[in-house]
Chain A
Amino acid sequence: MLSSLIIVFREVIEAGLIVGIVLAATQGVPRRSFWVSVGIASGVVGACLVAAFAGELASLFQGNGQELFNASVLLLAVAMLTWHNVWMAGHGREMAREMRSMGAEVSAGRRTLTAMAIVVGVAVLREGSEVVLFLYGIAAQGGTTTAAMLTGGALGLAAGAAVSALMYFGLLSIPAHRLFSVTGWLITLLAAGMASQAVLFLQNAGYLQFGMMPLWDTSWLLSDDSIAGRLLHTLIGYTDQPDGLQLAAYLFAIAAIVALMRVINPPRRPVAAVVASPAE
């Protein structure tokens, strides 16, 4: 029971942290609950499909289907997170000028919500498919331990959701005028971590076979296997032995997102942070 609790908890928390950040980052955007729910629901359906067709997926592209699929959905999420940050950069300034009608505001908000729903969907799909495969394996085995394992899974789900909720409310306790600058950086680091992970999947599929030696080893300080290491891996892409290409992808993603945000909204006056506060 403990093992299933831990596995489900770990996967739920990895998806849940991303959902928490997305919810905090879209604070005040109308109908965000609906879109985030759509993202979660599609992610669950997608996770079941991926789990059901795991064998077929893996055999695509000369046995590299799984790696290429993971890399693709990660890069899709990176693009959507980038889009959100760039949109927020322009949005804050427009709100400051009070030039947009409420209707335009809502329709612009819907576009970033679609992007964020995709991010949530991808996160739930990736982590969820592992949970489905794991629980299906247990259910298929049958026997007396099945009920205990499924109980463990349910407890893991509840615990993971609780920690994710804590993360969300923790973010909300940030003063409103600072919230979007904090979530902006969180999303940038989230995207950079995903970009570096996508590179890893491509390397494991046999592509991009260069810059593969680890640059350093900080496992003595914080191991990838520890809970804290895993959480930081999800949040900011921490890994104890990054290779050269992973680090390059990470830094490139940060530089690209920051550059795009600057192009859309050149920093001029510190007042921008104040007017970005939620309209609620």
Chain B
Amino acid sequence: MIKNALIAGTALILLVGPAWADSSIPVTLKDHRFTPSTIHVKAGVPSMIALTNNDDAAEEFDSTSLKIEKVVAGHSSGNVRLRPLEPGRYPFMGEYHSETAQGVVIAE
């Protein structure tokens, strides 16, 4: 029963398919700092950050207010999907180097 439910759930998810944001906002990480560190997005619609990690070390893009934990390996890139946001400020950080890797998403 559990197995059937899992299979049905997986099938449903694959059928529905991922939704794609129209455009992505490029952000780079170098020397454990985000550039740009202030990111403006439109409120109420999904958006996407294309994060390129130019450091040797992996980093975890971490934000409880954005509900995101995403590891981006060293010298690689990853897409961080932002859900539709209420207007406001949403801080994020690189969890492994939080002294310097800080930023904020501003939805307006």
Q: Are B57 and A136 in contact (CB under 8 A)?
A: yes
Answer whether residue A208 sits at the interface, using C-beta atoms and an 8 A cutoff. Answer: yes
Q: A137-B96, A224-B64 are in contact. Are A203 and B18 (CB under 8 A)?
A: no
Q: A75-B6, A204-B68 are in contact. Are A133 and B20 (CB under 8 A)?
A: no
Query: In the complex, which of the residues B16, B17, B18, B96 contacts A133, with contact meaning CB atoms closer than 8 Å?
Result: B96
Instruction: Please tell me if the beta carbons of B60 and A130 are within 8 angstroms of each other in the complex.
Output: yes
Binary interface encoding of chain A residues 196-228 relative to chain B, with 1 for a CB under 8 A from any of its CBs, else 0: 000010111111110011100000000111000
> Which secondary structure dominates where chain A touches chain B?
helix
Most buried by A among B67, B81, B84, B96: B67
Residues of A within 8 A of B (CB-CB), count? 44
Asked if residues B18 and A79 are in contact (CB atoms below 8 Å), the reply is no
Asked whether A58 and B68 contact (CB < 8 A) given A137-B96, A209-B19, the answer is: no
Write out the residue numbers on chain A whose beta carbons fall within 8 Å of the beta carbon of B16. Answer: 207-208
How many angstroms between the C-alpha atoms of A133 and B57 in the bound complex? 8
Whole-angstrom distance between the alpha carbons of A34 and B42 in the complex?
53
| Cβ contact within 8 Å between A66 and B18 | no
Which of A83, A133, A202 contacts B60 (CB under 8 A)?
A: A133
- The reply to whether B78 and A63 form a contact with Cβ atoms under 8 Å apart is yes
Indicate which residue in B3, B60, B64 contacts A225 across the interface (CB closer than 8 Å).
B64
A141 within 8 A of B: yes
Smallest CB separation, B68 vs chain A (Å): 6
Q: Which residues of A contact B (CB under 8 A)?
A: 3, 7, 51, 54-55, 58-59, 62-64, 66-67, 75, 79, 82-83, 130, 133-134, 136-138, 140-141, 200, 202-209, 212-214, 223-225, 239-241, 243, 260
